[in-house]
Amino acid sequence: MKKLRLAVLFGGCSTEYPVSLQSAGAVLTHLDREKYELYPLGITRQGRWLLYTGPLEALSGDSWLEDPRFLCPAVLSPDRNTHGILVLDPAGIRTIAIDAAFPVLHGKNGEDGTVQGLLELAGIPTVGCGVRASALCMDKDLAHRLAALAGVEVPASALFRAGDSWEELPRRTGALRYPLFVKPARAGSSFGVSRVANPSGLEEAVRAALEHDSKVLMEEAVPGFEVGCAILGTRGLTVGQVDEIELKQGFFDYTEKYQLLTAQIHMPARISAARAEAVKRAARKVYWALECTGFARVDLFLTPDGRVVFNEVNTIPGFTGHSRYPNMMRGIGLEFGPLLDRLIQLAVEV
């Protein structure tokens, strides 16, 4: 059987660079070398692109850049005739044709449609969401607007942009009930997010969010707890088990997401079958409304009175062996290796 030639993109100019290395290491480790010819294509924090041929264990510790023997400058070519990678060898430029690409890139410059646009220009099938869905899901404001139009409840909110008058802040949030969550509209993994208990802390929180994005979303806190729903598919959808985040204190910020110092993830969620089905219905609506393809994790809130409220969509969620998305799929019997096969198959079939 002919092997499928797959580029796996990792790293990136994002605050989530370290998580991407862990996810990519897990993906590359679990891909069957009998089925795939793999080309790990790393992007440094500074934006340099390198074909990496070294040991996979060097990814998780971020030591992959230390040995130049395993590194060669390389880029994805937007030229459809190349349909792959340009390797900038000292002896000259050579090309590697690829069949598909798997961007294992979290946050800005990877999950927001930028890399997906390059791959679309090149005519290279891409694992996961395309340009439009990636951009929409990264923008929490636009995602909330479309989810609401699809009939899914969203938190009450207001917007503030860089350059707006600070005198506008009290007026825009006047109808909102505290506490508020103040967050960059287009940043991932809770960077720049603050919980504000009263108006006195609002301006400081907005200034902190503006360090990560020029557009800030200020939304009412939703009572209850957060649940997640893993979805796989482009036409017919496969939905994983619903999981639940139990917080002991604060909110699910970057540290808690990746270190779980006080938070716990319960999979499956400790909710009734009827409520789990309501979560899945809402997640499917959001997935379709935002035109997702391939896979995504839809995060929502479940209130004490049983309402399902949309939070956000991660189009490239964490992909380590213990990450939420693979665990939710494992809950319906789809293990990590076969899950990766399904994701890649969806990309090349389109």
What are the residue numbers of the active site?
16, 189, 258, 297, 299, 312, 314, 318
25 sits in which H/E element: helix 17-30
CA dist 65 and 19 (Å) reads 16
Provide the 3-class DSSP secondary structure of residue 56: coil
Q: What is the C-alpha end-to-end distance of the chain, expressed in Å?
A: 21
3-state helix, strand and coil shares in percent for the chain, rounded to the nearest 5 = 30, 30, 40
Residue 140's closest CA among 315, 332, 8? 315
Q: Strand 215-220 and strand 295-302: pairing?
A: unpaired
Token output for 69:
């023997």
Provide the 3-class DSSP secondary structure of residue 67: coil
Provide the 3-class DSSP secondary structure of residue 97: strand
CA dist 118 and 304 (Å) reads 44
CA dist 193 and 325 (Å) reads 22
